[in-house]
Amino acid sequence: MRKLVRAAVALFVLPGPAFAYSDGQLAVMSHVGQAIAGTKICPKLEINEGAMALMFADEDVKLDDPTVAAVIRTKIEETVRAWDGKDEGLGCAAVLMLYGPSGAKVSGLLRFKD
């Protein structure tokens, strides 16, 4: 019984890898996922890889971390699913307002394709 109690305490009290990310790192993962989804919602746009790399470096987010990749992939999927069937023009306007050159969330993360 004592071992069971210790195991339960370890599961709920000790921090694990799922909680090893700062708020800033989680925000970067979320913004990048939404911006990448924006390129799927609005094919006229592309991700600004330089801006994305700066965000990763600034918050020490490692793209080769499987958890980071999974969080970003999940954010892409949920955002694309939310916009499925909606007007492309409206989607383009929305993602530009958030991540375009004068974006309210992360300006310059998205740009028009050449």
Asked whether residue 12 is domain-assigned, the answer is no
Query: pLDDT tier at 5 (50, 70, 90 boundaries)?
Result: very low
Asked whether residue 4 is domain-assigned, the answer is no
Q: Which domain holds residue 107?
A: 23-112
Q: Is the pLDDT confidence value at 15 over 90?
A: no
Asked whether residue 17 is domain-assigned, the answer is no
Q: Is the pLDDT confidence value at 1 over 60?
A: no
Question: Three-state SS for 86?
Answer: coil
Query: pLDDT tier at 19 (50, 70, 90 boundaries)?
Result: low
23-41 vs 88-99: helix axis angle to the nearest 10? 150
Asked whether residue 39 is domain-assigned, the answer is yes
Class of residue 58 by CB neighbours under 10 A (exposed 0-12, middle 13-18, buried 19+): exposed
| Total of domains in the chain | 1
Asked whether residue 99 is domain-assigned, the answer is yes
Asked whether residue 89 is domain-assigned, the answer is yes
Asked whether residue 107 is domain-assigned, the answer is yes
Record the pTM: 0.81
Asked whether residue 9 is domain-assigned, the answer is no
